[in-house]
Amino acid sequence: MMPTTSATRVTLRAEDIGKAFMSGKVRTPVLDGLSLSVRAGELTLISGPSGCGKSTLLAILSGLQRVDTGRVFALDQRLDDLDPRALERFRLLHTGFVFQGFNLFPALTAREQVELPLHYLGVPRREARERAARSLEEVGLAHRMALRPAELSGGEKQRVAIARALSKEPALLFADEPTSALDAASGQIVIDMLHRIARVHGTTVLCVSHDPRLIGHADRVLSMEDGRILNDRRETTPGVPTEGLVP
Amino acid sequence: MVALARKTLVHEWRRFLPAILAVGFAGLLQLLQAALVLGIFSSASIYVTGSAADLWVGYPGTQSVSLGRSIDPNVEGRLLMDPAVERVEPFLWVDADWRGQSGTGGESVYVSGVDPRPDGLVFARVLPPALRMRLREPDAVIVDQADMDKLGVRVGDSATINSYRVRVVGASSGLRALGGVNVVASLDTARVLDTDPADRDRPTYLVARLHDPAAADAVARRISGARGFDRYEVWTASAFARRSVLYWMLDTGAGAGVLFLAGVVFVVGAIITSQTLVAAVAGSVREYATLNALGVGMRALRWVVLEQATWVGVCGLLCASVFGAALLALARGQDVPVVLDVPVALACAVLTMGLTTVSGLAAIRSLRHADPASLLR
Ligand SMILES: Nc1ncnc2c1ncn2[C@@H]1O[C@H](COP(=O)(O)OP(=O)(O)OP(=O)(O)O)[C@@H](O)[C@H]1O
Ligand SMILES: [Mg+2]
C-alpha cells in the first residue's frame, strides 16, 4: 500500500474561484474569491451550515461544475478549461464519488454495481470481477456480494457505493453528505472507512458535511460560511489504524 | 460486460410491460392486416399460383392476369426453340356474360380456356386430373363450389355463356375470383365463347414449363430480349403473380389503406413505447447521473437506453409472433383467406423494430436530466 509520505502532496487546488447562480434576474453569488489546497493521503472535511456553498465547491473541485472565475487544478491538470468530453475522461480515470443517496441500480447485485464502471474503464471482464470482489471485501461486504439493493441495509448500500468508487482505484475521492441518510452507527462506519481509504491508498479524500459528529474523524477540517473558508484546522490525533478497512 | 439494460428489463419487467405489449400489439396488427390483405388479393393471381408453369408470356405491359390481350400464336414456336423450355401451353381468357337456367339477370364471368389433358399446366394445382378430363366433353364447363348459388346452377345443369349453351360438368374448390366469377372450360370451348374477332385463334397467354425451374429468371430475360415475331413480354410465374396482386391492391386503394393503417399503428405504438421508456429512464436517472459522475460518457449511457429499447422490441416481436401464428392458424381453420410470406413477415418485423428504435431515440432525450451536479445538494 502507498506510504503516508504522499500526505504532503497537494492534489487539489482552487485559486480565487467564484461561482454564482442566476435565479430569474437575481444573481446569487455562492463562492467568491475562494482559494484552497487539499492534500493526498488524508481525509479533508468541509463543514458548515446549510446553503453555504459546500456542495458547489465539491462539484467544482471534482469537475462536475464549472467556475465563473478563477482556476482549478486537480492532479496538476487545469480543469476549468477542459471540454465536457475531456472532463468525463478525467473523472473516469481519476475520481470516485459517494453521494448522500446511494444511487444503486435496483436490478444489479452488489458485485455488478461495482463491476459496471470498471468495464467503461476498459478493465477486462475477469479482472473487473476480481477487483469488484476485492473492493467489496475491503468495505466488509464479502458475504453480501450477490445481494441486490432491496436486500441491503442503508449502511450496506452506502458501503457498496464506496466500493464502487474505490474499485476504480481513483486518486481523488469525493463524498457529499455520505452519512446524512444513515443512523449514527452506520455513519460512523462509513466515515471511518473513508478515512482509512485515504491512509491506506494515499487517496485524496474530500468530504463535505454539515454533520458536526464527523469532525473528530477527519485529518483536516475546513469551516465554511457564506462561500468563504473561515477556519482551517488540522486534527493532531487522528488515531485511526492504517491496517485493514474493516473495523 | 454487466448487461445493465437486459438485467433492468428482467428485474423491472412490470415497468416495461406496457411498452412490450404496445410493441407486440403493433407488430401483431401489422402482421394480421398484411396477411388478410394478401389473402384477399392473392385470388387475383390464382391463375398463376394455381398453375404448374414456370414462365408466363403475354401482351407487353399487362398489369394483371385479368387484363391480358391476345398475342401472336407463333410465339409458341419461338419459345420451343429455346433449349431450356420443356413444354408450352396456351391459356385463353374470355370476359363473358353468364345466364343461368331460371333466366335471371346475367353475371359477368371470367372464362379460363385451359388444356384439358390430365397433365395440363394451367390450374394443375387446382383441378384434379379426373375433373379436368371432363372438360373434354363438348361445351363442358367447371365452376367453383362457392359460386354455384350465385350462378344458379348445380353440377349437371346447363346455362348460357355469351348466348352459347354450356353444361356444368363439375365443381372446383378454391377458385374464387376478385370482382367476378371464374368459369373453366377447355381451350376449344373457350374459343367458341370468345366473340371478339380480334382474338380469333390467338391465345391470351402462353405458359411454359422449363426443364429446370430454378433457371426461370435467366430464361425469361433471354426470351424477352430476343423479340422476332409479334410483341410479347415474358415473366416468371412468381413475378407475374406478384404483379397481379400488386395491381389489385393499388387499383382498389387497398394498398393505400394498408399503408395508412401501418402508419397509424406505427405512430400510436411509438408514442406508448417511448412514454414507457422515458418513464424507465426517469426512474433510473440518478443512477445514470452517478455513472456519469464516475466518468461513464453520455454516449455510453445513450447506448444503454437504445439497448433497452431493442430488448423491448425483441420481446414484443416474440409476443407478436406467438399470437400471430396462433391467430393465423385459427383463421385458416375458419376459411378466412390469410397469406403470409417471409418477405412480408420480415417487413413487419423491421417496421416494429423501427418503431422501438424511434421510441428509444425519444427516450434518450430524457437522459439530459442525468446531470451529476444535481446529485450534490
Ligand atoms: N443549480 C443551482 N441553481 C441555483 N442556485 C443554486 C444551484 N445550486 C446551488 N444553488 C444555491 O447555492 C447555494 C449553495 O448551495 P450548496 O448546495 O453548495 O449548499 P450546501 O452548503 O451544500 O448546503 P447543504 O448543507 O444544505 O447541502 C444555495 O443557496 C443554493 O440555493
Ligand atoms: Mg450540500
Three-class DSSP category at A210: coil
Answer for the pair B347, A38: CB distance below 8 angstroms, yes or no: no
Chain B residues contacting A via beta carbons under 8 Å: 1-2, 4, 7-8, 10-12, 284, 286-287, 289-298, 300, 372-373, 375-377
Q: Which ligand approaches the C-alpha of residue A210 most closely?
A: 1
Walking along chain B (377 residues) 10 residues at a time, the average pLDDT comes out as: 89 93 93 88 90 94 91 90 93 91 79 93 92 92 90 90 92 84 94 85 93 92 68 92 90 85 90 92 93 93 94 95 94 83 91 94 92 87
The shortest C-alpha distance from B332 to chain A (Å) reads: 43
Ligand nearest to the CA of A53: 1
CA distance B271 to B79: 56
The C-alpha cell that represents B273 in the structure block:
413505447
pLDDT for position A201 = 94
Quote the ligand 1 centre to A161 CA distance (angstroms): 23
Sign of CA dihedral A143, A149, A151, A153: positive
Ligand 1 in reach of A105 Cβ (< 6 A): no
Q: Evaluate whether residue A239 is within a structural domain.
A: no
Contacts of A92 in chain B (CB under 8 A): 294-297
Q: Is A50 in the pocket of ligand 1 (CB under 6 A)?
A: yes
In this structure, how many other beta carbons lie within 10 angstroms of the beta carbon of residue A127?
10
Ligand 1 pocket residue status of A30, Cβ below 6 Å: yes
A174 φ, ψ to 5°? -115, 135
Pocket test for ligand 1, best of A26, A52, A100, A208 (most atoms within 8 A of CB): A52
Length of chain B: 377
- How many C-beta atoms surround the C-beta of residue B250 within 10 A? 12
Which letter does DSSP use for residue A81 in this model? Answer: T
d(CA B356, nearest CA chain A) in Å: 22
What ligand 1 atom has the least distance to the C-alpha of A22? 4
- A245 in a structural domain: no
Tally of helices (H runs) and strands (E runs) in chain A = 6, 10
Question: A246 vs A190, B128, B130, B230, CA distance in Å?
Answer: 10, 87, 92, 97
Q: How many CB atoms within 10 Å of residue B152?
A: 16
* A4 pLDDT above the threshold of 50: no
Instruction: Please tell me the predicted confidence (pLDDT) of residue B228.
Output: 54
Put simply, whether A240 touches B (Cβ < 8 Å) is: no
Measuring from atom 18 of ligand 1, which residue has the nearest CA?
A53
- B7–A108: do the CB atoms touch at under 8 Å? yes
Ligand approaching nearest to the C-alpha of A175: 2
Closest Cα to atom 26, ligand 1: which residue? A50
Q: What residues make up the domain containing A111?
A: 9-234
Cell numbers for B33: 392486416
Cβ-contact A206, A10 below 8 angstroms: no
Q: Is A23 in the pocket of ligand 1 (CB under 6 A)?
A: yes
HEC assignment per residue over B43-91? HHHHHHHCCCCCEEEECCCCCCHHHCCCCCCCHHHHHHHCCCEEEEEEE
Of all residues in chain B, the one with the smallest CA distance to A84 is B297
Tell me, using a 6 A CB cutoff, whether residue B377 lines ligand 1.
yes
Question: Are A35 and A15 contacting, i.e. CB atoms less than 8 angstroms apart?
Answer: yes
Residues 6+ apart with CB under 8 A from B47: B65, B91, B112, B122, B123, B244
Q: Which residues pair with A224 in a beta bridge?
A: A229
Domain presence at residue A52: yes
Total number of domains constituting chain A = 1
> Residue B90 pairs with which residues in a beta bridge?
B206
Question: Does A2 fall in a domain?
Answer: no
Residues in Cβ contact with A172 at an 8 Å cutoff, skipping those fewer than 6 apart? A11, A12, A62, A74, A75, A94, A95, A96, A203, A204, A206
Scanning A68-87 for CB atoms below 8 A from B yields 85
- A63 inside domain: yes
Residues A81-105: what's their mean pLDDT? 94
Q: How far is B7 from chain A (nearest CA, A)?
A: 6
Among A91, A106, A115, whose Cβ lies nearest the Cβ of B293? A91
Q: Report CA(A56)–ligand 1 centroid distance (Å).
A: 6
Beta bridge partners of B141: B168, B185
Encode pLDDT of A181-190 as tens digits.
899 999 999 9
Segments in chain B forming alpha helices (H): 4-11, 13-41, 46-49, 75-81, 129-133, 148-151, 187-193, 216-225, 237-251, 254-283, 285-293, 298-333, 342-364
Mutate to test the pocket of ligand 1, among A54, A57, A177, A179 (most ligand atoms within 8 A of CB): A54
A125 found inside a domain: yes
pLDDT value of residue B230: 56
| Residue A3's pLDDT band (cuts 50, 70, 90) | very low
Tell me how far apart the alpha carbons of residues A240 and A113 are, in angstroms, rounded to a whole number.
Answer: 28
Q: Is A47 in the pocket of ligand 1 (CB under 6 A)?
A: no
* Inter-chain residue contact B295 with A108, CB threshold 8 Å: no
Residues facing residue B185 across a β-bridge: B113, B141
Classify residue A18 by burial, with Cβ atoms within 10 Å: 0-12, 13-18, 19+. Answer: middle
Q: What is the pLDDT of residue A23?
A: 87
Q: Are A106 and B12 in contact (CB under 8 A)?
A: yes
Contacts of B375 in chain A (CB under 8 A): 97, 99-101, 103, 176
ipTM of the complex, rounded to two decimals: 0.90
Element (H, E) at A116: helix A110-120
Q: Which of B10, B287, B297 sits opposite A88 (nearest CB)?
A: B297
Predicted local confidence at residue B310, as pLDDT: 95
Type of residue at B104: T
Say which of B297, B376, B377 has its CB closest to residue A64: B376
A26 three-state secondary structure: strand
pLDDT at B226: 61
C-alpha radius of gyration, chain B, whole number: 29
CATH number at residue A154: 3.40.50.300
Q: What is the pLDDT of residue A7?
A: 47
Q: Which residues contact B20 (CB under 8 A, 6 or more apart)?
A: B312, B315, B316, B319
CA distance A179 to A209: 8
Asked, for residue A174, whether it belongs to a domain, the answer is yes
Nearest CA to ligand 1 atom 24: A50
Listing DSSP states for B124-143 in one string gives: TTTS-HHHHHGGGSTTEEEE
| pLDDT confidence tier of residue A208, bands split at 50, 70 and 90 | very high
Name which of A162, A114, A121, A116 is nearest A139 in CA terms: A162
Domain membership flag for residue A246 = no
Neighbour tally for A209: CB within 10 Å: 23
Residue A33's region, left for phi above 0, alpha for psi from -120 to 50, else beta, is left
DSSP state of A144: G
User: Cβ contact (<8 Å) for B1 and A65?
Assistant: no
Q: Is the CB of A210 under 6 A from ligand 1?
A: yes
> Is B287 in Cβ contact with A105 (below 8 Å)?
yes
pLDDT tier for residue A234 given thresholds of 50, 70 and 90: confident
Say if A21 is an interface residue toward chain B (CB within 8 Å): no
Looking at residue B40, its pLDDT comes to: 84
Q: Could you give the maximum distance between any two Cα atoms of chain A, in Å?
A: 54
Q: In what order do the strands lie in the sheet with A77-78?
A: A26-39, A10-23, A69-74, A77-78
Instruction: Show Cβ contacts of residue A153 under 8 Å, excluding neighbours closer than 6 positions.
Output: A186
**Rounded CA gap, B86 and B120, in Å?**
13
Beta strands B107-114 and A220-225: pairing type? Answer: unpaired
Nearest beta carbon to residue A89 from set B1, B8, B295: B295
Query: What part of A 168-227 touches B (C-beta under 8 Å)?
Result: 168, 176-177, 208
